[in-house]
Amino acid sequence: MTRFGIPQFPGSCDETDTLLACSRVGEAELLWHKDKDLKGVDVVVVPGGFSYGDYLRVGAIPPFSPVMQAVKEFAAEGGLVLGICNGFQVLTEAGLLPGALLPNVNLAFTCRQVDLVVENVETPLTHEFAPTERISVPAKHTTGRYFAPTEMLNALEAEGQIILRYAEGHNFNGSVNDIAGVCNERRNVFGLMPHPEHAVDPLTGSDDGLKLFSSLASAAGVPA
């Protein structure tokens, strides 16, 4: 069974939902920001929140924590890493994902359901989806406007590194090219601003997010 590790920082707040979401498709445990190793997990999911208070700049300080040093080594060896919301911000600041997240155009914390289109289904995070499949998950953030300089953006588009886009009319934060989620060139590190971990049970209106976790679990290649 695939084992998920969820690094928790002071100021994280979505680690419990992430733990529960991962537990539906595998085994999951929390890691602490001071941990120097990842306890042998198969997949790392960096959760949302306000790690280290989001001081200085969102996601700026966590890359220097012991657990993130271990995550960087894990990613360099090809390990699967997903960052959600603040986790996405942390992975861009850590240099594991291209681009940066800027304040929403409306300058407001915004919490709403968004429709996303799966743009690339040939990645470990999305291989269980149909091409251009549409999913509904919540988004809740203040700093989620994806940005990449033109040259980088063109390369991301050409290489299929844009994995999720906001559906028409759903790009509330002003992200360039409607980008909601990206991956690295090697396609083992992923980040998205919306929250699939809050959409894993029909009780909350949508369970569309679960398939991202089950895709990761099956891609990890760990026998059940």
Q: Which residue numbers are catalytic?
A: 85, 195, 197
Closest CA to 198 of 127, 132, 135: 135
Shortest CB 25 distance to another protein, Å: 34
Rounded to a whole number of angstroms, the minimum distance from the CB of residue 100 to another protein is: 5
Q: Cβ 93 to another protein, closest distance in Å?
A: 7
CA dist., res. 86 & res. 98, Å (int)? 15
61 binds another protein (CB under 8 A): yes
Question: Can residue 191 be called a binding residue for another protein (CB under 8 A)?
Answer: no
Instruction: Please give the Cα distance from 22 to 166 (Å, whole number).
Output: 24
**Residue 57 in contact with another protein, rule: CB under 8 A:** yes
Q: What string marks each residue from 106 to 125 as x (binds another protein by CB under 8 A) or -?
A: xx------------------
Q: What residue has token string 């009319």?
A: 169
- If we measure between CA atoms, which residue out of 113, 58, 115, 99 comes closest to residue 184? 99
Helical H runs in the chain? 15-23, 66-76, 86-93, 150-158, 210-219
Which of 30, 102, 121, 222 forms a contact with another protein (CB under 8 A)?
A: 102
- Decide: is 100 part of the binding site for another protein (CB under 8 A): yes
CB-based burial of residue 41 (10 Å sphere; 0-12 exposed, 13-18 middle, 19+ buried)?
A: buried
Nearer to another protein, 43 or 61 (CB): 61
Minimum distance of another protein from residue 92's CB (angstroms): 8
56 binds another protein (CB under 8 A): yes
> Under DSSP, is residue 54 helix (H, G, I), strand (E, B) or coil?
helix
The verdict on 142 binding another protein (CB under 8 A) reads no
Contact between 186 and another protein per CB under 8 A: no
Cβ 83 to another protein shortest distance, Å: 16
- The CA-CA-CA angle for residues 22, 1, 15, to 5°, reads 20
155 binds another protein (CB under 8 A): no
Residue among 80, 78, 90 at smallest CA distance from 212: 80
Binding stretches for another protein (CB under 8 A): 56-57, 60-61, 64, 93, 99-100, 102-107, 145, 147-149, 174
